[in-house]
Amino acid sequence: MDIKLLKDKCGAEGYKKLEKLANDKLMKFVSGYAELCDPDSIFVRTDSREDAEYIRRKALENKEERPLATVGHTVHFDGYFDQGRDKGSTKYLLRPDEVLGSDIMSVDREKGFEEIHKLCENAMRGKEMYICFYCLGPTDSKLSISAVQITDSSYVSHSEDILCRSGYGQFLNLKGSGNFFRFVHSAGELENGVSKDSEKRRIYIDLQDEIVYSVNTQYAGNSIGLKKLAMRLAIKCASEEGWLTEHMFIMGVYGRKKRRITYFTGSFPSACGKTATAMLDGEKIIGDDLAYLRNINGRIRAVNVERGIFGIIQDVSEKSDPAIFEALTSPGEVIFSNVLVDRHDNPRWLGDARPEPDSGVNFAGEWAPGRKGPDGNAVLYAHKNARYTIRLRDLKNCDANLDNPEGVEVGGIIYGGRDSDTSAPVIQSFDWAHGILAQAAMIESETTAATLGEEGVRKFNLMANLDFLSIPIGRYIQNNLDIVQGVKKPPLIFHVNYFLRGKDGKYLNGIKDKHVWLKWMELRVHGEAKGIKTPIGHIPKYDDLKALFKDLLGKDYTREDYNEQFKLRIPECIAKIDRIKKIYHAKVFDTPHILMKTLDDQRQRLEDSRSKNGDYPAPDVF
């Protein structure tokens, strides 16, 4: 451990901040990477306001962010080829005796280390290294995890400051223990402020030592240790300790006349309406992306891992998402990424319900209609995966329990997917196991711009968590089944699909209809609405929905619409079961036996119904 080098690079004040933590493992870690990455200087971030301010200032000074017209707003651009999560370059470092399964990418541990350390060598020359401390989950909570991030990107550090709870105090409380996650990130060589060597982008995950390395990328989903990278470590940790790390929002849904609030979590693949659900007008948000769930004294409780939102900005308008729109257009701390900056230094994004801009600057440089990118593809004025980063506390619908160290009790869990022709808008499982096996473990979704690669391809994505699994799929499913052991009243499980289309290709539901489904779920949790039992779960009764549509949206919901939306699509449901079974057979070596049995039983019920009622029975036949 080269303490002299560390002292030199940190300066006396910075070094004192590290020394105060009296943590040997931490010192070894930071001095090791200070030596390997060779930054010009090191800044150590505590929980103080001045330290956060320093990083914000740096992001502007070194041009990773630029100021926008509204006070507190900045914009960051990622490279042209760095606009989404890079699944192909994200791999687990595995020993030869470790197996995760064929759908989970890995690289030989020794070779991977060699490669990533080579890429880190002198990667921070000419730059400053930031050492930052965070807490995953509310501070002073038994449900939370401490984490340290090393990065040479002030944008990454600034984003984390908005997204994550500060954790220097947590590290003091560790009293020298080595129980924390570690992250090393370098944006690599920059050209015009963006990572230059995208072909050398690597995100390598060391589960054994709980370290994630990320190099030659800036896109937050690849670079922010505390978000999707920590999630992979936390999934393994949760599996070993008997709890769950999920790709879930947490929200509070009010009952009639706001007399009660019921908490729901929801897991949706990226860009399938997750944030939009958690942000529904009139309800309360705790988180939009990541949750830890535990069985505490026979109740399932959840905390938000983060304290901010890194949300998709496309289609956010005053009408569709009033609370977000207000936060994005009022003074306050917001980082916009990969939007267009117009002549007046205002951010513009796709679907902002304003006249299209005719010029500006975006992630591909100066933009004008017809502009082509370096790959010859037409460049829209903003990227489809353009995002905003804000604090939940800056939203007027933020729930008071956001930082409750005990979390909130979960009344219902919602799984969502994206398909145009199979799943009804909302359906409740028969029970916990049926929900996990026949809904969550069957999630399929068409790919979106949130990950690099082709869009619109139907992909298996159990619990919307496949991208982040660090344990074999079968074990993960079993953990989900087991978590309710000893829980008297497990959360109800629902499946939703906002993307159903009619024969003419048009969506069958309006953008706000999801609110009705949510209110129906709330009634179900309290036993105040009846369901109709179909072969695949309980669907709502027409009269209940009609009343909710009227109440909530002032809309006359017709029986024709109901029949079309909620008819059972038997051929498609059977085809889906067959597709999913094939995947489990071919790719998952540890599928729990009960999964196949549950799917076979469901298939049989569908076949029986088909022989009695035809391919597309309306709800009233059940």
Residue 3 CA to residue 545 CA, distance in Å, equals 67
The span from the CA of 178 to the CA of 184, in Å, is: 17
How many other C-beta atoms can be found within 10 angstroms of the C-beta atom of residue 61? Answer: 10
Is residue 228 close enough to count as binding ligand SPV by CB under 6 A? yes
From the CB of 149, what's the least distance to Mn ion, in Å? 19
| Residue with the CB atom nearest ligand SPV in the bound state | 221
Please check whether residue 543 is in contact with residue 565, taking contact to mean a CB–CB distance below 8 angstroms. Answer: no
C-beta closer to ligand SPV: residue 306 or 522: 306
- Contact 211/184 with Cβ under 8 angstroms? yes
CA distance 506 to 502: 6
Give yes or no for a contact between 99 and 472, defined as CB atoms under 8 angstroms apart: yes
- What is the Cα–Cα distance from 389 to 387, expressed in whole angstroms? 7
**Using the rule CB under 6 A, is 289 a contact of ligand SPV?**
yes
220 binds ligand SPV (CB under 6 A): yes
Q: Which does 85 bind (CB under 5 to 8 A by kind): Mn ion, ligand SPV, none?
A: ligand SPV
- Positions in the binding site for Mn ion (CB under 5 A): 289
Residue at token pair 């009296």: 22
Is there binding between residue 188 and ligand SPV (CB under 6 A)? no
Tell me how far, at minimum, the Cβ of 279 lies from Mn ion, in Å.
14
The one of Mn ion, ligand SPV, none whose footprint includes residue 221, by CB under 5 to 8 A per kind, is ligand SPV
294 interacts with, out of ligand SPV, Mn ion, none, CB within 5 to 8 A per kind: none
In terms of Cα–Cα distance, which of 446, 379, 454, 442 is closest to 88? 454
CB of 308 to ligand SPV, least distance (A): 11
What three-state secondary structure class fits 66? strand
Handedness of CA 579, 580, 584, 585 (dihedral sign): negative
Among 221, 412, 537, 592, binds ligand SPV (CB under 6 A): 221
Q: Which does 535 bind (CB under 5 to 8 A by kind): ligand SPV, Mn ion, none?
A: none
Sheet containing 360-362, strands listed edge to edge, beginning at the edge strand earlier in sequence: 347-348, 340-341, 360-362, 365-367
Q: Which of the listed partners (Mn ion, ligand SPV, none) does 517 bind, with a CB threshold of 5 to 8 Å by partner kind?
A: none
Q: What angle do CA 131, 133, 135 make, to 5 degrees?
A: 155
Using CB under 6 A as the binding rule, whether residue 401 contacts ligand SPV is answered as: no
Contact between 386 and ligand SPV (CB under 6 A)? no
- Which of Mn ion, ligand SPV, none has residue 220 at its interface (CB below 5 to 8 Å by kind)? ligand SPV
Least Å from the CB of residue 215 to ligand SPV: 17
Q: Measured between alpha carbons, how far is 524 from 226 in angstroms, rounded to an integer?
A: 35
Residues that bind ligand SPV (rule: CB under 6 A) add up to a total of: 9
- Identify the residue among 73, 227, 236, 524 touching ligand SPV (CB under 6 A): 227
Interface with ligand SPV by CB under 6 A: which range of 134-142, 220-228, 575-583, 585-593? Answer: 220-228
Q: How far apart are CA 207 and CA 205, in angstroms?
A: 6
Nearest CB to ligand SPV, comparing residues 30 and 450: 450
Question: φ and ψ at 388, to 5 degrees?
Answer: -130, 150
Contact partner at residue 399 from Mn ion, ligand SPV, none, CB < 5 to 8 Å by partner kind: none
306 binding partner (options Mn ion, ligand SPV, none; Cβ < 5 to 8 Å by kind): none
Looking at the DSSP assignment, which residues form a beta bridge with residue 107? 93
- Distances in Å between the Cα of 598 and the Cα atoms of 127, 149, 172, 435 are 55, 43, 49, 10
Smallest distance from Mn ion to CB 270, Å: 5
Among 450, 463, 508, 595, binds ligand SPV (CB under 6 A): 450
Q: Is 270 in the site for ligand SPV (CB under 6 A)?
A: yes
Interface residue with ligand SPV, options 45, 73, 76, 85 (CB under 6 A): 85
Give the CA-trace dihedral at 386, 454, 458, 315, to 10 degrees: 20
Smaller CB distance to Mn ion: residue 445 or 602?
Answer: 445
Partner touching 248 among Mn ion, ligand SPV, none, CB below 5 to 8 Å by kind = none
The reply to whether 153 sits near ligand SPV by the rule CB under 6 A is no
Provide, rounded to whole angstroms, the least separation between the CB of residue 247 and Mn ion.
6
Interacting partner of 64 out of ligand SPV, Mn ion, none (Cβ under 5 to 8 A depending on kind) = none
117 exposed, middle or buried (CB, 10 Å; 0-12, 13-18, 19+)? middle
91 is an interface residue for ligand SPV by CB under 6 A: no
Q: Which stretch binds ligand SPV (CB under 6 A): 127-135, 219-227, 322-330, 584-592?
A: 219-227
- The per-residue b/e assignment along 5-22, b for 16 or more CB within 10 angstroms, e otherwise, is ebbebbeeebbebbeebe
Task: Decide: 555 and 516 in contact? Cβ < 8 Å.
Answer: no
Minimal distance, residue 72 CB to ligand SPV, in Å = 22
Could you say which of 171, 181, 310, 584 contacts ligand SPV (CB under 6 A)?
Answer: 310
Q: CB of 540: closest distance to ligand SPV in angstroms?
A: 28
* DSSP-derived secondary structure for 479-541: HHHHTTTT-SSPPEEEEEES--B-TTS-BSS-TTHHHHHHHHHHHHHTT-S-EEEETTEEEE-
Q: How far is the CB of 335 from ligand SPV (least distance, A)?
A: 13
- In the complex, what is the shortest distance from the CB of residue 615 to ligand SPV, in angstroms, rounded to a whole number? 35
305 binds ligand SPV (CB under 6 A): no
Query: Residues with catalytic annotation?
Result: 272
> Which tokens sit at 46?
């505590």
Binding site for ligand SPV (CB under 6 A): 85, 220-221, 227-228, 270, 289, 310, 450
